[in-house]
Amino acid sequence: MGSLLTNAEAVVFDCDGLLVDTEACWTVAETAVFAAHGHPFGPEQKALVIGRTLEDAAKAMAEYLGRPGASAELAAELLERVRKELSGGVAPLPGAAELVRACRAAVPIAVASNSPRELLDAALWSAGLADCFTHSFAADEVRSPKPAPELYLTACEALGVPPTCSVAFEDSATGIASARAAGLYVAVVPSLSGADLDHDWLGSSLAEPELLDWARQLGDGTVR
């Protein structure tokens, strides 16, 4: 499992599949796109697209479907389907709201998401988490989204804390690669079971009591 960074000065959260139960929305949309093109959608296909930007997911889908020139078309189709699914409302994942609020009470926090701003805002508002963050950064607001480090570097700069003193919470290999490249400590709660993911700390849920205990002690100078 690893140990948590006890002297963290900032925390940066991914959103989809980590804070908010949006992966179900994405899976419904992705399944529909694959079905429309005569292909099934299962764990193998999900692994191709999870954590990617909308555009990169569409490119991967286009390659898989044998339609390499159709990525823009597939991206538009996927966006419309995800937008429709999100409109039905989404919930925070277990422990997410409690952990975010405990971290916010102690240190600066932010969101760094590979979703476009429209979908990030919809997810955070629907889950009741939007008011928890004064800083959030979306894939369409940086030149190079995840797995490049820019989203995490941008978040740390906005929070005024060096990446090496910050913790990233992630759920996918794409996001982990981004946080690792930026130099953050990486805490992982996988959204796909059975995934073997790089991590400094690994858990099964944000609701694990260890996490809340850790968050409540941030910034108080306690030696642990």
Look at residue 193 in the predicted model and tell me its pLDDT: 77
Helix 71-86 and helix 117-126, axial crossing angle in degrees, nearest 10: 20
Look at residue 200 in the predicted model and tell me its pLDDT: 96
Look at residue 195 in the predicted model and tell me its pLDDT: 74
SS3 state of residue 188? strand
Q: Beta partners for 166?
A: 10
Residue 16 annotated in active site: yes
Look at residue 83 in the predicted model and tell me its pLDDT: 92
Look at residue 2 in the predicted model and tell me its pLDDT: 67
SS3 state of residue 101? helix
For residue 64, give Cα distances in angstroms to 36, 74, 82, 115, 215.
Answer: 14, 12, 20, 21, 41
**Alpha-carbon dihedral sign for residues 217, 110, 178, 113:** positive
Tens of pLDDT, residue by residue over 8-37, are 999 999 999 999 999 889 899 999 999 999
Look at residue 111 in the predicted model and tell me its pLDDT: 98
Annotated catalytic residue within 14, 21, 56, 200: 14
**Alpha-carbon dihedral sign for residues 112, 72, 62, 38:** positive
Look at residue 192 in the predicted model and tell me its pLDDT: 82
Look at residue 1 in the predicted model and tell me its pLDDT: 57
- Backbone φ and ψ for 103, nearest 5 degrees, come out as -65, -45
Look at residue 222 in the predicted model and tell me its pLDDT: 42
Q: Which of 189, 178, 223 is nearest to 23 (CA)?
A: 189
Measured distance CA(214)–CA(87) in Å, rounded: 34
- CATH architecture of the domain formed by 10-21+90-217: 3-Layer(aba) Sandwich (3.40)
In the chain, which residues have pLDDT < 50? 221-224
